[in-house]
Amino acid sequence: MSMEKKTPRPSEEEGVVLTPEQIRRRRARNIAIASVLGFLALLFYVVTIVKLGPNVLNRPL
C-alpha cells in the first residue's frame, strides 16, 4: 500500500482557488491591461484628429 501523502484538491464547486499572491498579480495585470487600453483609445483619438486636421469640421449635415 502506498504511503504517499496526497495534497487535497479543491472541490468541483470551488473551481479554481487562487492564492492571495495570484489574486494580487491578477489585479496588477488587469490594471496594466486597462491602462494600455485607455492609452490606445486616447492615441487613436488624437491621431484621428491630427490626420483629419481642419477637415474634422467639414462634414455634410
Distance, CA of 49 to CA of 61 (rounded, Å): 19
Contact 27, 34 (CB under 8 A): no
Of 30, 8, 6, 4, nearest in space to 17 by CA = 8
The footprint of other proteins on residues 8-37 (CB under 8 A) is 9-10, 12, 14-19, 21-22, 25-26, 28-29, 31-32
Closest CB 57 distance from other proteins, rounded Å:
18
Instruction: Give the binding site for other proteins (CB under 8 A).
Output: 7, 9-10, 12, 14-19, 21-22, 25-26, 28-29, 31-32, 43-44, 46-47, 50-51
